[in-house]
Homo-oligomer: A and B are copies of this chain.
Amino acid sequence: MSVAVVSEKNPYEAAIENFDLAADALDLATDMRNMIKYPERVLSVVLPVRMDDGKVLRFDGYRVQHSTARGPAKGGIRFHPNVTVDEVKARAAWMTWKCAVVNIPFGGAKGGVTCHPEDMSQAELERLTRRYTHSILPLIGPAQDIPAPDVNTNPQVMAWIMDTYSMMKGYPVPGVVTGKPIGLGGSLGRKEATGHGVYYTLESTCSHLRIPIKGAKVVVQGFGNVGSAAAHMLSSHQARITAVAESTGSIYNKDGLDIPKLMRHKEKTGSVVGFAASEPITPSELLSMKCDVLIPAALENAIHGENAARVKARIIAEGANGPLTPEADRILEA
């Protein structure tokens, strides 16, 4: 699912606009806004990396610490061609607010490298990751700023970051990243944690709105860690997942897709496309399907000014970071 069409607004401007809406609602003084609105530190680094063919290419990387007022900064590293400094700044701001809302003693940060990881070998990704880690090293640490996986980064990437950092210190520092491989000190259940969080939030909301989970019609946009784990939990509580969208294609089954089977299908083929008991559907059809719950679990700004009016879900359960633009918010609230 492309984010290209949603570029009416850059993510940082959207985040700042959201901040102002919230600050207005709280009647927050200008002084205080000036203290907590903007990112404390934005570090841009240039990464010359040797490719497998011997050439040195240049990549741009970022680490943004939006706020450390409530504790060490915390936030994931994204490897994606759409990574820009403003995109990272927006995600860092969201991290500050997310940590504060659930009252955990962490501030907000995010990082990223502009690259096409799917075109790179493991060796190239390792060299890129190690170089990036070395460049942002003065800012990170278990008590300062703790990276985590994000889009296109995984436990292996975290292991490289941890190893690079640990070599600098001379001993293993597992606390410098979360999302490590279990064998290096990673947490059990981490992979499914976000998806399960979506489910538990949804369970509260449904109970509040008196919509039974059992039999509820659910559409899931994005079938990565978050979307698939949420779908799995929902289907095991007998919700009906009628449609699933992915960047490679979207599928539909009006009686509900068999999620465990779909997960195995994706594991084998790398995509949900071609799943036996399903028919193809366009992303646009999927978003405008009538359903009880729509779970946008892909990238930010997936629901925006141009498609928001077509959404027909009773509940939108946000599984991605900032999947609705402020404009979409206004349209949907109206």
The chain A residues found within 8 Å of chain B, CB to CB, are 30-32, 34-35, 38-46, 48, 50, 55-58, 68, 70-72, 103, 105, 134-135, 137-139, 141, 143-144, 167-174, 183-185
Contact A105 B168 (CB under 8 A): no
| A169 to B167 Cα, complex, angstroms | 10
Further contacts, 13 of them, CB under 8 A, given A31-B55, A35-B56, A144-B171: A30-B56, A31-B56, A38-B58, A42-B43, A42-B45, A68-B172, A105-B174, A134-B167, A138-B139, A138-B170, A144-B170, A168-B168, A168-B169
Contact A30 B55 (CB under 8 A): yes
Closest to A185 in B: B105
Closest to A61 in B: B41
B41, B46, B103, B167: which contacts A168 (Cβ < 8 A)?
B167
Contact A45 B34 (CB under 8 A): no
Closest to A39 in B: B46
| A56 to B259 Cα, complex, angstroms | 45
| A38 to B40 Cα, complex, angstroms | 23
Q: Which residues of the other chain, B, contact A138 by a CB distance below 8 angstroms? A: 138-139, 170
Interface centre among A38, A44, A71, A169 (most CB of B within 10 A): A44
B39, B43, B171: which contacts A141 (Cβ < 8 A)?
B171
Q: Which residues of the other chain, B, contact A172 by a CB distance below 8 angstroms? A: 68, 71-72, 143
Q: Which residues of the other chain, B, contact A103 by a CB distance below 8 angstroms? A: 183
| A320 to B170 Cα, complex, angstroms | 32
Contact B48 A35 (CB under 8 A): yes
B143, B144, B171: which contacts A72 (Cβ < 8 A)?
B171
Contact B143 A171 (CB under 8 A): yes
Can you list 24 residue pairs at the A/B interface with Cβ under 8 Å? A31-B48, A31-B56, A32-B56, A34-B56, A34-B58, A35-B56, A38-B46, A39-B46, A41-B44, A41-B135, A42-B43, A42-B44, A68-B172, A70-B183, A71-B172, A71-B174, A103-B183, A105-B184, A138-B138, A143-B169, A143-B171, A143-B172, A144-B171, A168-B169
| A174 to B38 Cα, complex, angstroms | 24
Question: What distance in Å separates the Cβ of A194 from its nearest Cβ neighbour in chain B?
Answer: 24
| A32 to B56 Cα, complex, angstroms | 8
